[in-house]
Amino acid sequence: MVPALAVGEALRSRGAEVSFVVSRGRAGEGIAGAAGFAEDAIPMRGLARRLTVRNLGAVWGAAMAVPRALRVLRRRRPGVVVTAGGYLAAPVALAARLRRVPVVAMEADSHMGLANRMVAPLARRVALAYPLPGRQGRRYAVTGRPVREAVVKATRTAGRRVFGIDPDATVVLVFGGSQGARTLNDAAVDAFGDSPPFDVIHVAGPGQLERAARRLAGRAPGSRYRLVGFLENLHDAIAAADIVVSRSGGSVFELATIGRASILVPYPHATADHQTLNAQWLVDAGAAVLLPDSECTGPRLRALVGALLADRRRLEAMADAARSVGRPEAADAIAALVLDAAR
């Protein structure tokens, strides 16, 4: 949802009228509305990756999503439809083609998902976060993954002010994505749970917060250890940090845009291992250290963070390297593709 919102904001700033179609009852419902966009919800759920009776309902929902999307398009009368992957991408793209509305697709990862593989032949343009094998030619444009304007404008000074952290303090941020990551949470508590010599912002994830808090309760973290379940303003935490320890989903582009050294722990069960590919992008740039999930323990994490903090020159070079590959203009570049398709 975040890349779509970023492009929506860029289009709105150019005077376009933007509305969203979302899956009813899913996590993304209401987010666009909260950002000031009109929102239409269509009931649909994804296919399970195994044989199950529930998939019959999912197939039926996908079939019914096409006429429902057609009704939305008849009412909204868009000049172009933008898809961002996910359950609804293919039904909405098909509805757009049936109404002869041009489609622009966005792929925000280093692996093209099933939905976008279905949408790509229907799309006039496909915006890619990374160059992908076999996806060349005029239809494809490598734009980077779009980030919201707040990310582009985030600063160290403002971030530290938000969290009440001294401007001269050393700060380590740990987060495992929107759902949290048990491996990272356990390692962070084991590594930094006893009076850390620096400030720690630990975003455990809403579903993992209680477990992380129980583990931390057995330690002596002190006032410099901040444990939270979720942050709406994660960009402020990234900007406040000297080192970020995280999974390597779409947040790698936020790390690059803001310019922060990182230790990346790819989720080992991600589709096509795309989180490792995401992490390798920053590792190859000299901006990150890759720590396999199987090796992410408290002692190992403490040693890696300690070594980086002890070498400030390397830390600054990693931050500069991250900024050098960032694509803060990605949302504007995709907005330009969308407006061109609409014309």
pLDDT at residue 56, as a whole number: 53
CA distance 95 to 74: 10
Selection from 335, 337, 340 nearest residue 18 by Cα? 335
pLDDT at residue 134, as a whole number: 84
> What sections of 80-154 are H helices per DSSP?
89-98, 114-119, 149-153
224 neighbors 196 (Cβ within 8 angstroms): yes
CA distance 91 to 104: 14
Tokens of 52: 């199950």
| Residue-range domain boundaries for the chain | 2-147+328-342, 151-325
CA distance 278 to 327: 14
pLDDT at residue 200, as a whole number: 97
Query: 207-212 — which CB contacts under 8 Å span 24+ positions?
Result: 207/179, 207/180, 208/176, 208/179, 208/180, 208/181, 208/182, 209/180, 211/182, 211/185, 212/180, 212/185, 212/186, 212/188
Task: Give, for all 343 residues of the chain, the pLDDT tens digit.
Answer: 788 999 999 999 999 999 998 877 666 667 888 888 888 888 766 555 555 545 555 555 567 788 888 999 999 999 999 998 777 888 999 999 999 999 999 998 888 888 888 889 999 999 999 888 888 888 999 999 999 999 999 999 999 999 999 999 999 999 987 666 889 999 999 999 998 999 999 999 988 899 999 999 988 898 999 999 999 899 999 999 999 999 998 889 999 999 999 999 999 988 888 899 999 999 999 999 999 999 999 999 999 999 999 999 999 999 999 999 999 999 999 999 999 988 8
Contacts for 57 with CB less than 8 Å, ≥ 6 apart = 45
Secondary-structure class of domain 2-147+328-342 per CATH: alpha beta
For domain 151-325, the CATH superfamily is Glycogen Phosphorylase B; (3.40.50.2000)
Selection from 143, 89, 99, 144 nearest residue 121 by Cα? 89
**Domain 2-147+328-342 and domain 151-325 have a common topology:** yes
